């Protein structure tokens, strides 16, 4: 087990004038035994970052250290890591047992020890009846578990997961998520898990790295990322339905939105043009003297209702309990805000502005 250090990581494809930089300086310290999820939309560079830690991509700038050792120039086979691939990458010509034993044989682990480790992993992953089968005879979920078993038996310093749940159906995905959490609780190996799914990120991560277009926007616990997103991107990426972002002019305890001035329960951190973020679940409809929302459409989801409407020229969504009576479509309701749940962001940079 080991800590992972990423220092000013840069990734560039091509050279000279035609170079294309895809990762622009990522810094992160991942503690020994921590489960960190790297999450972001397609193309943000998360898989590239993971592959650089694995040694499958060259590092164009900066350093990666595993367990205190700088690994920039060290081949994947020497890094003492294990990886679970999105398409599992099981060796098709070998049985499940041999797939899991492959790495151990190479490290010259004694035969008895190999059998012991494989059997133990098979027991944890419920693969014992399949040890003599070939990968093509297994279902997707079973293959995924073999891929994890292959990683577990190696007892490496670090586990790397590259979107391992993406090829599973929804039910299996939810099940496997829980199994991965249990596995981590039991084995406690430092893990880096890449996904584009924010639900997976929120439920699995002890801390998460939110990436966008090659930049690390926030590196914090799920609670922190949810309650205090560092940028407008993080604010709208995490949380479903996404946070409402309203651009307007703040002046003390009032906010001017599209020519209409409305009161704020708490003063803005500074005066001037700002973006206000409000989560749908932190706004209540009703009462008087709040923000006027023109109701356009209501979605009934059972336990909750989503009310979509217009706030001036901004689209706005609010969430209400499914048992309460919804407002009529076409009517105007007053929105009541809560002082603790106002998020302020700089208009130009999108960065969070803290109240003083």
Enumerate binding residues for other proteins (CB under 8 A).
54-58, 72-79, 81-83, 85, 87, 89-93, 102-103, 106-107, 136, 150, 154
Minimum distance from CB of 5 to other proteins (Å)? Answer: 17
Minimum distance from CB of 19 to other proteins (Å)? Answer: 17
Minimum distance from CB of 64 to other proteins (Å)? Answer: 10
Minimum distance from CB of 130 to other proteins (Å)? Answer: 17
84 forms bridges with which residues in the sheet? 161
Closer residue to other proteins (CB): 82 or 235: 82
Q: Which residues of 218-247 are buried (b: 16+ CB within 10 A; e: fewer)?
A: bbbebeebbeebbbbbbbbbbbebebbbbe
- The Cα–Cα gap between 256 and 344 comes to 14
218 forms bridges with which residues in the sheet? 210
Q: What is the DSSP code (8-state) at residue 243? A: P
Minimum distance from CB of 163 to other proteins (Å)? Answer: 12
Closer residue to other proteins (CB): 73 or 354: 73
Q: How many CB atoms are located within 10 Å of the residue 202 CB?
A: 18
Neighbouring residues of 203: CB distance < 8 A, sequence distance ≥ 6: 177, 181
Closer residue to other proteins (CB): 103 or 222: 103
Closer residue to other proteins (CB): 138 or 278: 138
Count how many Cα atoms sit within 13 Å of the Cα of residue 60 in the half-sphere of its side chain.
Answer: 17
Residue with token string 């890591």:
81
Closer residue to other proteins (CB): 23 or 262: 23
DSSP 268-317: -SSSEEEEEEE-GGG-EE-SSSSEEEEEEEEEE-SSEEEEEEEETTEEEE
Closer residue to other proteins (CB): 46 or 343: 46
Minimum distance from CB of 121 to other proteins (Å)? Answer: 14
């Amino acid at each position: 087990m080991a800590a992972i250090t990423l220092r000013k990581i840069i990734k560039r494809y091509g050279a000279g004038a035609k170079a294309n930089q895809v990762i622009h300086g990522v810094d992160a310290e991942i503690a020994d035994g921590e489960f960190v999820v790297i999450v972001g939309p397609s193309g943000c560079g998360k898989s590239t970052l993971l592959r650089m830690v694995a040694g499958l991509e060259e590092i164009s700038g900066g350093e990666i250290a595993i367990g205190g050792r700088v690994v920039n120039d060290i081949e994947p086979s020497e890094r003492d890591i294990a990886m679970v691939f999105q398409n599992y990458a099981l060796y098709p010509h070998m049985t499940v047992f041999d797939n899991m034993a492959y790495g151990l044989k190479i490290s010259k682990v004694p035969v008895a020890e190999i059998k012991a480790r494989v059997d133990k992993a098979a027991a944890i992953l419920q693969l014992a009846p399949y040890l003599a089968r070939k990968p093509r005879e297994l279902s997707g979920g079973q293959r995924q578990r073999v891929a994890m078993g292959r990683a577990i038996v190696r007892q490496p310093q670090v586990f790397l997961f590259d979107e391992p749940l993406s090829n599973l159906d929804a039910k299996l995905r939810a099940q496997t998520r829980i199994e991965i959490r249990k596995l981590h609780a039991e084995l406690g190996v430092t893990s880096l898990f890449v996904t584009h799914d924010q639900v997976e990120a929120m439920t699995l991560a002890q801390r998460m790295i939110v990436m966008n277009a090659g930049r690390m926007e926030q590196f914090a616990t799920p609670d922190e990322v949810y309650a205090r997103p560092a940028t407008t991107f993080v604010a709208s990426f995490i949380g479903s339905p996404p946070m409402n972002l309203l651009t307007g002019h703040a002046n003390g305890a009032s906010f001017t939105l599209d020519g209409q001035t409305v009161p704020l329960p708490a003063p803005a951190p500074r005066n001037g043009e700002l973006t206000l973020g409000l989560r749908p679940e932190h706004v209540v409809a009703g009462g008087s003297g709040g923000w006027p929302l023109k109701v356009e459409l209501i979605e009934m989801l059972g336990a909750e209702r989503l009310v979509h409407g217009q706030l001036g020229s901004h689209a706005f969504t609010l969430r209400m309990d499914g048992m309460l009576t919804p407002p009529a479509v076409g009517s105007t309701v007053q929105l009541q805000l809560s002082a603790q749940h106002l998020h302020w962001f700089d208009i130009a940079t999108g960065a969070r502005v803290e109240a003083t």
